Amino acid sequence: MAEPKLVVVESLPGCRARAARTVLGQVVLPGEELLLPEQEETDGPGVAGERPLRLNAAVCSRLRVVCGPGLRRCGDRLLVTKCGRLRHKESGSGSSGGIYWVDSQQKRYVPVKGDHVIGIVTAKSGDIFKVDVGGSEPASLSYLAFEGATKRNRPNVQVGDLIYGQFVVANKDMEPEMVCIDSCGRANGMGVIGQDGLLFKVTLGLIRKLLAPDCEIIQEVGKLYPLEIVFGMNGRIWVKAKTIQQTLILANILEACEHMTTDQRKQIFARLAEC
């Protein structure tokens, strides 16, 4: 590339913070501050401080903005904590101002409440199972957190089993806890994942890409042969097909499709469809 766009120069601390709206889709670096839409008009040239007093206090009715992963609240502004592209989504109900987040790439998973993950049972101690989810600590899973489990009727979970569950408690101060039922007490597909199959790890960004509603890769994969896939938000994918060879092909495709272009992918699928 002849001349990279000198976007970085403007965003050094001490200079003006940029408006979030103008940066959508561009790469942002940690340490940058972003202004929310309502703040742009009131900031004078170069002064990022006092807002001019307004006689009508009702004018300052600002919309609630949600700052998602990769962003933090810093006073009235957003502070970027991860490098990636800035994204924005308008919320369905017009009351809140939408959500901003940074589309970044990483391999290490940090437990987040509400995420569905695949875990491996590492220990059974008393009433709880210790499940390895790829975070800093193993998550705890109570034996009562399965559908239809009572004190007499314990679930059939052994050490080494794969569990698909969601987090109920996941913050930096406490040990993460997961369950295999939803708030109504139904399993909804969560619980022990069946026999056989292959578990492998990919980056977190790929999981989100594959789970997007209009993902072509999944649609094409689904046409190849009968198979079953489980995606965990912690970067783990479990696949199962009728034969071992088919399973391995599937695993290789999913791992490789992160770095392939659309054409290469189509070539590979065409070749596979022939066999």
Partner 1 sequence: MAAERKTKLSKNLLRMKFMQRGLDSETKKQLEEEEKKIISEEHWYLDLPELKEKESFIIEEQSFLLCEDLLYGRMSFRGFNPEVEKLMLQMNAKNKAEEEEEDGTVELDVSDEEMARRYETLVGTIGKKFAKKRDRANYEEDENGNTKPVKTKKMFLKPQD
Cβ distance to partner 1 smaller for residue 65 or 139: 65
Q: Annotate each residue in 234-263 with x if it binds partner 1 (CB under 8 A) or - if it does not, as one string.
A: ------xxx---------------------
User: Which residue, among 159, 120, 119, 126, has the nearest Cα to 143 in the 3D structure?
Assistant: 126
Task: Output the smallest distance, CB 110 to partner 1, in A.
Answer: 8
What CA–CA distance (Å, rounded) separates 259 from 272?
18
136 binds partner 1 (CB under 8 A): no
Bridge-based pairing of strands 236-241 and 198-201 is antiparallel
Separation of alpha carbons 21 and 7, rounded Å? 15
Q: Are 203 and 215 in contact (CB under 8 A)?
A: no
Give the other-Cβ count within 10 Å of 97's Cβ: 17
Query: What dihedral angle (degrees, nearest 10) is formed by the CA atoms of 82, 14, 7, 67?
Result: 40
The region of 24-32, 112-120, 143-151, 262-270 touching partner 1 under the rule CB under 8 A is 112-120
Nearest to 74 by CA among 24, 32, 104, 102: 32
- Site residues for partner 1, window 180-209 (CB under 8 A)? 188-189, 208
Residue 20 interacting with partner 1 (CB under 8 A):
no
Among 101, 109, 146, 269, binds partner 1 (CB under 8 A): 101
138 to 157: interface string for partner 1, x by CB under 8 A: --------------------
Is there binding between residue 116 and partner 1 (CB under 8 A)? yes
Q: Tokens 């919320």 map to which residue?
A: 91
Q: Are 215 and 160 in contact (CB under 8 A)?
A: no
Starting from the edge strand earliest in sequence, which strands make up the sheet with 27-28, in order? 27-28, 84-89, 96-103
Figure out which of the listed residues 227, 260, 268, 272 binds partner 1, where binding follows CB under 8 A: 227
Q: Is 68 in the site for partner 1 (CB under 8 A)?
A: yes
- In angstroms, what is the minimal distance from the CB of 221 to partner 1? 7
Contacts to partner 1 by CB under 8 A? 36, 62-69, 71-73, 76, 78, 87, 89, 92-93, 97, 99, 101, 110, 112-116, 164, 188-189, 208, 211-213, 218, 221-223, 225-233, 240-242
